[in-house]
A and B are shown apart, each in its own frame.
Chain A
Amino acid sequence: MKKLQYERPVIQKLNTGLTNKFGTRTESDPVTHIDDLAVEKLIAQFGSPLFVLSEQTIRSAFRDASRAFKNRYPKVQFAWSYKTNYISAVCNVFHQEGSWAEVVSGFEYEKALANGVPGNKIIFNGPDKSENDLKQAITNDSLIHIDHMDELYMLKDIAAAANKKPRVAIRVNMDTGIFPAWDRFGFNYENGEAMEAVSKICNDTQLSLVGLHCHIGTFMMSTSAYGIAAKKLSEFALNIRKKFNRNIEYIDMGGGFASKNTLKGSFLPGTDASPTFDQYAEAICESLLNAGFTQENLPLLILETGRALVDEAGYLLGSVISNKRLSDGRRATIMDFGVNILFTSFWYDHKISPAQSFGSHHEDTVLYGPLCMNIDMLRENIPFPPLKKNDKVVVHTVGAYNMTQWMQFISMRPAVVMIGTDGKVNLIRRRETIQSIQHEEEMPLYLKNFKL
């Protein structure tokens, strides 16, 4: 007689009247494959934990966003926000789709150049551009987005010394009705600081003002804030035209569209709560089209959308290390990945699915990572089937910010693979080894030897 599949015995108290707000079944439906490739096999080949990206999902998100804007507005350009995910293979999928690069550091700038992005299609944002960064950006005719007065003056001097006239924009912050307003980046619109910066640029022959930039926040659930921002930047552009007879060639609305993740404390799951690309596009394009530009002066609309384009394409596969019972009776499961590689678990209740089938019984479970620290909690309370050691799980919607903000802490960072549109899997970042770490270290001679 063939033996039956074993499942750990579970008994759970039924709380009448208290229903789980998300319903329990959908979350723990097993996910055994990603783009038709078996989770078990991926882990057998590349190890656990493992980041997996779906090229198909990236491209379809991009095309969805692109269609939403291009159906509503004649001049649209996306620029891939490198900090969101700068693994080169990921960047190049976006570049193949037609995206420029948006970078915020010399390092990201070098990466974009190395990936083959022409210098004049790199947008250089951020408060921290060094003198060398600016020199290089000027030489390459990149679009330099000025963040503060010190930068404006430094840029003028560098441009004068190089006898060049760089193309610049200023970053503008403003009140869009959301709280808290992001006012630490760029120049404020309402208090006149932005106009002051513009007049410093326009009254000088050294810099060429070509654009206006804003990034009103991140994971913005409000589309109307974008409508307000686009309206204010349009007004500003028209004012600049009146005052300085200068044509603003583009308006860059930054990033910030929400992905389908579920913010901690949110009542609805992100799949229901987050606006669609069409809703964001409607708010922005309507403001631009109704602002009063003539047809030929209609500015190019640039978008630096990050997380909403890549979050859903990313998965983290992992394995169960152990099960425990906490002193208050709750089940705790320890996974082989922690908050050091799943940074976004501080913001989101990531959807986590078992990767093998189970009976219909669930236990409320705390999911911990393996780090020897109290903060290493992945989910505080998730109704989960009884997993055992070595069972696999799939964490969903992890494509944005994890593969850039991950920390090498206690253990090595895992490999990253991409499942191509042809269904084949490609290694795009190797698992780190001890050499990756030791390579950067130096041992002073006198510390080399010791006796124990």
Chain B
Amino acid sequence: MKIKKNIALSDTGFVFDPSTGNSFSANPIGMEIIRQIREGKTQEQIAEHILKTYQTDAGTFEKDYHDFLNMLNRFRLTENIQ
């Protein structure tokens, strides 16, 4: 899964897709995940980072991560190349 290249991310949690004109807002942890996907990190690497930084467990994060990816897909913020 890849995030579209031209997506603009702000420090304050705004996500802008110039190809559709849509804008979105994400919470800080959502922004962190989007950035890491964009940097090419794998799910394992992202999970490792989140579990190190936040009070959560692997099961909870895995569930939430997939839900979040589904939303990115639904909002067409991803390039599905797999």
Interface residues of A (CB under 8 A from B): 3-14, 16, 323, 325, 329, 359-361, 386, 388
Q: How far does the alpha carbon of A175 sit from the alpha carbon of B80 in the complex, in Å?
A: 66
A13-B24, A14-B24 given; A7·B29 CB < 8 A: yes
Q: How many residues of B contact A (CB 8 A)?
A: 33
Q: Counting CB contacts under 8 A, is B56 at the interface?
A: yes
- 4 new A-B contacts, CB < 8 A, other than A6-B54, A10-B68, A361-B30, are A6-B50, A9-B26, A14-B14, A361-B26
The residue from A9, A323, A329, A386 contacting B65, defined by CB atoms under 8 A apart: A9
B25 within 8 A of A: yes
Contacts A5-B55, A9-B33, A13-B75 known; A361 to B27 CB distance under 8 Å? yes
Q: How far is the CB of B35 from chain A (nearest CB, A)?
A: 12
Q: Is the CB of B25 within 8 A of A361?
A: yes
**Interface of A, helix, strand, loop or mixed by DSSP:** loop
Q: How far is the CA of A8 from the CA of B52 in the complex (A)?
A: 15
Q: How far is the CB of B9 from chain A (nearest CB, A)?
A: 11
Interface residues of B in 1-49 (CB under 8 A from A): 13-15, 22-30, 32-34
> Contacts A329-B71, A359-B28, A386-B27 given: A9-B64 contact, CB under 8 Å?
yes
Whose C-beta in chain B lies nearest to the C-beta of A2? Answer: B55
Checking A5, A7, A9, A14 against B25 with a beta-carbon cut-off of 8 angstroms, the contacting residue is A14
Q: Are A325 and B70 in contact (CB under 8 A)?
A: yes
Contact B15 A11 (CB under 8 A): yes
Cβ contacts A to B, 30 pairs, < 8 Å = A3-B53, A3-B54, A4-B54, A5-B54, A5-B55, A6-B29, A6-B60, A7-B29, A8-B29, A8-B64, A9-B26, A9-B27, A9-B29, A9-B30, A9-B32, A9-B33, A9-B64, A9-B65, A10-B27, A11-B24, A11-B26, A11-B34, A11-B72, A12-B24, A12-B26, A14-B14, A325-B70, A361-B13, A361-B27, A361-B30
Q: Judging by beta carbons under 8 Å apart, are A7 and B53 in contact?
A: no
- Nearest chain-A residue to B60 (Cβ)? A388
Q: How far is the CA of A55 from the CA of B2 in the complex (A)?
A: 57
Most interface-central of B14, B30, B53, B65 (chain A CB within 10 A): B30
Cα–Cα distance between A8 and B61 once the two chains are bound (Å): 8
**Which A residues lie within 8 Å of B33 (CB)?**
9
A4-B53, A4-B54, A361-B26 as given contacts; A9 in contact with B68, CB under 8 Å: yes
Checking B22, B27, B30, B53 against A13 with a beta-carbon cut-off of 8 angstroms, the contacting residue is B22
| B79 on interface, CB distance cutoff 8 Å | no
> Measured between alpha carbons, how far is A65 from B23 in the docked complex, in Å?
49
A214 to chain B, nearest CB (A): 53
What's the minimum C-beta distance from A412 to chain B, rounded to whole angstroms?
A: 29
CB distance from A165 to the nearest CB of B (A): 72
For residue B54, which residues in chain A have a CB less than 8 angstroms away from its CB?
Answer: 3-6
B residues less than 8 Å from A386 (CB atoms): 27
Q: Which of A10, A12, A325 has the most CB of B within 10 A?
A: A10
| List of B residues within 8 angstroms of A9 by Cβ | 26-27, 29-30, 32-33, 64-65, 68
Shortest C-beta distance, B8 to chain A (Å), equals 13
Once bound together, how far apart are the Cα atoms of A9 and B27, in whole Å? 6
Contacts of B74 in A (CB 8 A): 329
Query: By the criterion CB–CB under 8 Å, are A10 and B22 in contact?
Result: no
Q: In the assembled complex, which residues on chain B have CB atoms less than 8 Å from the CB atom of A4? A: 53-55
Which chain B residues lie closer than 8 Å to A5 at the CB level?
54-55
CA distance A211 to B59 in the complex (A): 68
